[in-house]
Amino acid sequence: MRRKIILDLDTGIDDALALAYALGSPELEIIGVTGTYGNVAVDTGVRNALAILELFGRTDVPVHAGLPCARECDSFEVLEISEFIHGANGIGGAQLPEPTTAAAEGDAVEFLVESVRKYGDELVIVPTGPSTTIAAAIEADSSFAENARIIMMGGALTVPGNVRPWAEANVHQDPEATDLLFRRARDVTMVGLDVTLQTLLTTRETAVWRSLGTRGGTFLADAADHYIRAYETTSPHLGGCGLHDPLAVAVAVDPGLVEFLHLNLKVDTHGETRGRTIADETRLNDPVKTARVAALVDVERFLAEFMGRLTALAEKTPAA
């Protein structure tokens, strides 16, 4: 049986690659996408998700708009670093036609709560942006925290942050929301910078997509090349761009790609470590661990899966 999945995306270049990974995975049945702010404003993220679904022939997948800003804010502005990394349109300046479909009716929180009620543990939710919408779903319905299976990209346990010395970008956007998620949700998998900064894409791989001569291949190559160039400036020591969000989807398909530490997590919400993801000292000896943190990754196998799935998907799109 195919595993049902909802992606909560701030689309975003690596979110786009994550969506493509899900679309290219026969093991998954995509129930829907929810759109959050983060790399871009929520409207731009929703538009990008719709345009990418249309590119790959999947206008049947509903996209629901989520919350527009963090819990303790009343507005959102794209950070300079996000715009530098993802481009003003969020997909590295890559051009996609305006989607012919619109966002689905009904907000994302309602959609998430109802889907967990309907599908229980047959469903996995993969958030790859700030945790605001997921936290709102936890607050909206007590059974959501109990039953939702969440595999999130975000946080950094054993390595420094990427936007602050302590904080990873998704958690940094809304530390209170991720803290609530860690404290209340019963089944959380954290795929953070510990592993995602080991899974790197280079122009050698994007050249494969470009050589396909298809619309899908050209889009993936244009967007990822922008991302790789940005990483050459921000993190030249890496030698490629981090495949953060696709790794979370890959773990939803095959948890065997990573090895876990079992912990109860929290997020620091005050002081200079605001945004840090760390074990909750008050639940250290609790025999029940609600989170598993990916600490090791089989880089070679993941990259082979990633390239195989996205290349096959892009091959099927019309000529550029």
- Chain residues binding ligand BDR by CB under 6 A are 12, 14-15, 39, 128-129, 153, 162, 168-170, 244-245
C-beta separation of 107 from 150 below 8 A: no
At CA 284, angle to CA 127 and CA 270, rounded to 5?
60
Work out whether 128 is an interface residue with Ca ion (CB under 5 A).
yes
Pairing relationship of beta strands 123-127 and 3-9 according to DSSP bridges: parallel
| Interacting partner of 49 out of ligand BDR, Ca ion, none (Cβ under 5 to 8 A depending on kind) | none
Residue 240's SS3 state is coil
Cβ at position 315, least distance to ligand BDR in Å: 25
Nearer to Ca ion, 170 or 206 (CB): 170
Residue 242's SS3 state is strand
d(CA 90, CA 39): 7
Which residue of this chain has its Cβ atom nearest to Ca ion in the complex? Answer: 128
The DSSP output letter for 192 is -
Work out whether 15 is an interface residue with Ca ion (CB under 5 A).
yes
Cβ at position 10, least distance to ligand BDR in Å: 6
- The catalytically annotated residue of 64, 86, 226, 244 is 244
Nearer to ligand BDR, 173 or 218 (CB): 173
Cβ at position 244, least distance to ligand BDR in Å: 4
Work out whether 174 is an interface residue with Ca ion (CB under 5 A).
no
Cβ at position 128, least distance to Ca ion in Å: 4
- The catalytically annotated residue of 10, 174, 222, 225 is 10
d(CA 253, CA 276): 27
The DSSP output letter for 320 is -
Work out whether 115 is an interface residue with Ca ion (CB under 5 A).
no
Work out whether 12 is an interface residue with Ca ion (CB under 5 A).
yes
Phi and psi angles of residue 8, each rounded to the nearest 5 degrees, phi first: -110, 100
Measured from the Cβ of residue 120, the count of other Cβ atoms closer than 10 Å reads: 14
Give the per-residue contact string, 227-246, with Ca ion (x = CB under 5 A; - = no): ------------------x-
Give the orientation angle of helix 132-140 with respect to helix 108-119, to 10 degrees.
60
Which residue of this chain has its Cβ atom nearest to ligand BDR in the complex? Answer: 169
Concatenating the DSSP letter of every residue in 157-184 gives SSS--SSSSS--HHHHH-HHHHHHHHHH
Nearer to ligand BDR, 55 or 249 (CB): 249
Cβ at position 89, least distance to Ca ion in Å: 15
State yes or no: is 86 an active-site residue: no
CA distances from 288 to 111, 125, 143 (A): 29, 21, 18
Work out whether 264 is an interface residue with Ca ion (CB under 5 A).
no
State yes or no: is 15 an active-site residue: no
| Interacting partner of 168 out of ligand BDR, Ca ion, none (Cβ under 5 to 8 A depending on kind) | ligand BDR
| Interacting partner of 36 out of ligand BDR, Ca ion, none (Cβ under 5 to 8 A depending on kind) | none
d(CA 116, CA 131): 17
Enter the tokens of residue 275: 């945004």
Cβ at position 128, least distance to ligand BDR in Å: 5
Q: By CB under 5 A, how many residues form the interface with Ca ion? A: 6
Nearer to ligand BDR, 147 or 198 (CB): 198
Peptide bond into 242 cis (omega under 30): no
Q: Which helix (H) or strand (E) holds 64?
A: strand 63-65
Query: Which positions touch Ca ion (CB under 5 A)?
Result: 10, 12, 15, 128-129, 245
Residues labelled as active-site residues: 10, 244
